[in-house]
Structure 1
Amino acid sequence: MKIGHVIISFHSISFIFLGYTRYLFIFANFTNCRKTVLTRSKIYQGMNGGNDFK
């Protein structure tokens, strides 16, 4: 009974850890995507003479 409880707790901890790392990975990807979008929009503005593309 004790061993099963330890296995369940370890599984929950590993699941939480995996979810946390996945969340961090998604967050990093999101920030990278936002950075690339911002730089691209700046490049487009420079190409269009500084006008915001609509």
Structure 2
Amino acid sequence: MAGNELRPVIKLRSTAGTGYTYVTRKNRRNSPDRLTLTKYDPIARRHVEFREDR
């Protein structure tokens, strides 16, 4: 399936050190570098930066 290679499943790991992760997909053509998003960490109870963990 060619669709799975273009949009791989990635893990977004919290930079707060709690170990909390989000699982999502990304388009490799639009964002070939590591993805960084600000999302809510329920363990830290605040918004923190989540970085891509392959």
Report the TM-score, using the length of structure 1 for normalisation: 0.22
Name the TM-score, length of structure 2 as normaliser.
0.22
Relative contact order, higher structure (CA 8 A, sep 6+): 2
Q: More strand by proportion, 1 or 2?
A: 2
Kindly indicate which of the two structures has a greater share of residues assigned to helix: 1
